[in-house]
Each structure stands twice: as structure tokens, then as C-alpha cells.
Structure 1
Amino acid sequence: MSHPEPTSEPTSRPAAERTRGAGVWPLIHAERAALAADLAELTDEQWATPSLCTGLTVREVLAHLTAGASLNTVRWLAGVIRCRFDFDKQVAVRLAEQLGADPAETLTRFRRIVPSTTKPPLPAIAMLGETLVHGEDIRHPLGIRHAYPIDVVTRVAEYYQGSDMVVVARKRIEGLRLVAVDGPFTTGSGPVVSGPTIALVMAMTGRATYCDDLEGAGTEPLRARCGTA
């Protein structure tokens, strides 16, 4: 996922918003640590596996996560200016910076940012979303299953259902009713799409393969919208 131009949100956040952000960071750190543990024994061939991010290997997606946790607002903005506001180029440049010489170094760099609270000009919940979604982009092609705490994945689903800030999600699910079968998440109205919360999150963010885990009259319309801006 590329990081978009900052919105018009004020730079001085209300105290309540800062408190909510503080509560999200332990969840981000826990999910990063779990991902690092899952990848500890990968072979070189597995590191080269295509991820669910088009054109990127699982190793490159991990480097992208490292890059996102290494950029504060000033560095992010400096990079955007240097790339002449080409956000995709900025993402590619920062990914290359964090790739390292080999997979072992890629993983070492990621482990270093596990406790980081550094971020681009995005809310902390967006960083949690990036961690979960890109974690699945990596795990799914490798056949690795991870048991996400339902409260964590529900918070991410609730964020994406009302946002197009980092990735188009709200627009993708317009006119559909999403219903989780393993937790409390529901949103929207229209033809129903039901299934595990993590599958709903991944489909909301454009990963068509997760529609195989969903059912209901709205599933095929949602599948058709996956991969579109």
C-alpha cells in the first residue's frame, strides 16, 4: 500500500484521539512480533514467493513494512518532495532502502522496528491496518495461518469500512452489507457478504482471493471490485 498525500486533518490532535492512538500501538507491536516469528525459518525460495501485493515478493512486502515504521512526517514529506509527489516512487525508494543485502538482513531490519512508534502522517489505526493486511499478503501465499485476536481485526475492519485514506475500502463496499461470522463487525446495507472478519478486511482492501472465504449475494460484486481503485 502506498502512503497518500496528507489529508486536511489538523496536525494538533485532540487529547482523546491521542489516547486512542496510544492504545493501538501495543497491538501493532504484538502483530509485528508475531509476523517476525512466523518468518524466522523461511528458505530463500520462500522469501522470493510472490505476495498478494502485485509485483512484490514476500521479502519486499516485509521491507515495505519496515520502511513505513521508519518514516516520520518530516522524512516522509522530504521523500515525497524528492520524488516530485510521485507517491508510488516514494514507496519504491523507501522499500529499496530497507531491503538489505539478503533475506536475513531484511528480517533483522524488520525486527528492529517491532517496538517503533514512528509513522508517516497517518493515524495509528492505519498503521495497524497496514500491519494486518500486509501480514496476510505475506502469510497467505506461504500457507501460514495466524490467529488474529478478534478485537484487533474488528478494530481494523471498523476503520476500513469508513475510510479510503490509505487504500480504497469504503468505496469498494458501497451498497453491500458486510457481516462477520466470528465477531461483532457489521456495516452497510444491501446484498450480504458474510465470513471471517479477516477475510472481510482483506476483501475490503482489494484482495480477491479472500472472497473464496466469503458467502452471500454480495460476494461476487465485491470480488469484481477487488483490484480496482
Structure 2
Amino acid sequence: MNRDQIWPVIHAQRGAVAALLETLSDEEWHRPSLCEGWTVRDVAAHLTLQEVGFGGALGMLLRWRGSLDRTIQHAACRRAAALSTGQIVAGVRGTPDARRHNFGVTHLETLTDILVHGQDIAVPLGRDLHTPAEAAAVATTRTLTMRLPPPLPSAKRLAGFRLVATDTAWAHGEGPEVRAPMAALLLLACGRLTALPQLSGAGAAELTGRLSAGARHNG
């Protein structure tokens, strides 16, 4: 997928997430998401910050919380508290055909953000939110091969396995084979262990053990 093909997917996924958010009860907005320490409302508010320019990024850094992850979470929580539910939904939906992304990243990170954070909201609520397999393949490849921004620790833990999608023509890496739907592989590359039960193949048990041990160590 090239840039002109990716942006319509981003816009469609923003619309799908916004439509899902419109159906949530107040109690669901305050439930935990797949992001540890983040509520559904926090994640949704974070998704309204996908077009932050240099000035906005500088403003976030001036409120530095000791790490980039904590700084981003702090910005999301502040926005979640400042905006009404309707404003958050409108911000997630965004402007049709806009092609802006956050300062310091590319459109590929914007794609990954909306695909993964959409599932961060949907999965713990038991809601179905479709992830296009071809777009997930692009996002997973970017996550596993990126150098700037630095790769995620979760992506590094997938080294030494051959990851194979079961629903699209995609494979990555060398080693014992691990098979799963493309959306599940994207979630694992981004550290969401809720996708572990979807793994199969000769390397599935070994990778599950590695990722589960890593989660216990991090905790």
C-alpha cells in the first residue's frame, strides 16, 4: 500500500472508531482499555491528538513526566478531562481527507495508532471493530522494522520467529513458525498480549512463554 492508499484507510478507521464510541455508555467510557493505566476515554482522547504539529509537541514536552510514554499518557488524560464526550468523538472522526500527522512521525505511525488504539478500546468492551488485514500488514512491517522512532520493546521480543499471517499474504522473520490473523500479529508487535490465544504453529508455545515472561518481568 502506498501513501495515497493508506490515508483513506486511516480516515475510514477513524470513522469506525468514532461510530463505536457513539454507542458507549458512560460506564464503558471509564472502563480500562488494553493500555495499562489508560481508560477507554483516555485512549479516545489520545486519538484526537493525531495531528499535533511542532508547537503542540513542544507544549507536551514542556510538561515532561520523566519518559515519553508517561508524557503522552499525561497529555491524553488532560485532554480526556478537558473535552466533552461529543468533542472527543468529533476529534477522533477528524476532518475527511485531512493528511496531517504528528510532528516527528510518518503516516505509517498514524495508521498504526488508529488500528491498534481502536482495538485497545473495542477488545476489552467485547465490541467487534474490523481491522483490514492489508493495512495491518503494512503497520506490522513498519513496527517490526522501524529505527526512528526507536522500535518498541515488544517488537524486539518477536525476533527469532517466523511470523505468518493466516488471512493475507504476509510473513516476517526467521525461526520457528508462528501463525495468526494479521490483526493479532499487529497487536502482539505492539505489546497487546490479549492476542496470544490466536497463535498457532511450531513456535506458538515458545513465543507465548517468552512474551508472558516479559510481561511478568515488566510488571
TM-score, normalization: structure 1?
A: 0.80
Task: Write 1 or 2 for the structure with the bigger share of helix.
Answer: 2
Which deviates more from structure 2 when the two are superposed, residues 200-209 or residues 76-85? 76-85
Distance 2:96 2:19 in 1: 11
Identity %: 31
Q: Can you give the 5+ residue segments of structure 2 that lack an aligned partner in the other structure?
A: none
Distance 1:162 1:192 in 2: 18
Distance 2:36 2:156 in 1: 21
Shift, 1:148, TM fit = 2.4
Match of 2:137 among 147, 150, 154: 154
Aligned residue number for residue 71 of structure 2: 90
Shift, 1:128, TM fit = 0.4
Whether the 8 Å CA contact 1:157–1:185 is kept in 2: the answer is: no
Q: How does 1:14-163 map to 2 (within 5 A)?
A: 20-67=2-49, 69-83=50-64, 86-99=67-80, 100-112=82-94, 116=98, 117-163=100-146
Distance 1:208 1:118 in 2: 27
- The letter for the 2-side match of 1:216 is G
Shift, 1:202, TM fit = 0.5
Shift, 1:22, TM fit = 4.7
Shift, 1:222, TM fit = 2.9
SS in 2 for 1:161: helix
- The letter for the 1-side match of 2:193 is A
Shift, 1:125, TM fit = 0.4
Shift, 1:178, TM fit = 0.3
- The letter for the 2-side match of 1:80 is L
- The letter for the 2-side match of 1:212 is P
With over 3 angstroms needed to count, the CA separation of the structure-2 counterparts of 1:87 and 1:38, relative to structure 1, is same
TM-score, normalization: structure 2?
A: 0.84
With over 3 angstroms needed to count, the CA separation of the structure-2 counterparts of 1:89 and 1:210, relative to structure 1, is closer
With over 3 angstroms needed to count, the CA separation of the structure-2 counterparts of 1:84 and 1:104, relative to structure 1, is closer
- The letter for the 2-side match of 1:72 is G
With over 3 angstroms needed to count, the CA separation of the structure-2 counterparts of 1:25 and 1:169, relative to structure 1, is farther
Shift, 1:103, TM fit = 3.1
Whether the 8 Å CA contact 2:14–2:94 is kept in 1: the answer is: no
Which deviates more from structure 2 when the two are superposed, residues 139-148 or residues 70-79? 70-79
Q: Cα deviation per residue 1:86-133 (whole Å; 9 max; x = unaligned)?
A: 423421332134213543343233234565424121111011001101
The answer on 1:225 being equivalent to 2:211 is yes
Which deviates more from structure 2 when the two are superposed, residues 128-137 or residues 111-120? 111-120
Aligned residue number for residue 171 of structure 1: 156
Q: Can you give the 5+ residue segments of structure 1 that lack an aligned partner in the other structure?
A: 1-18
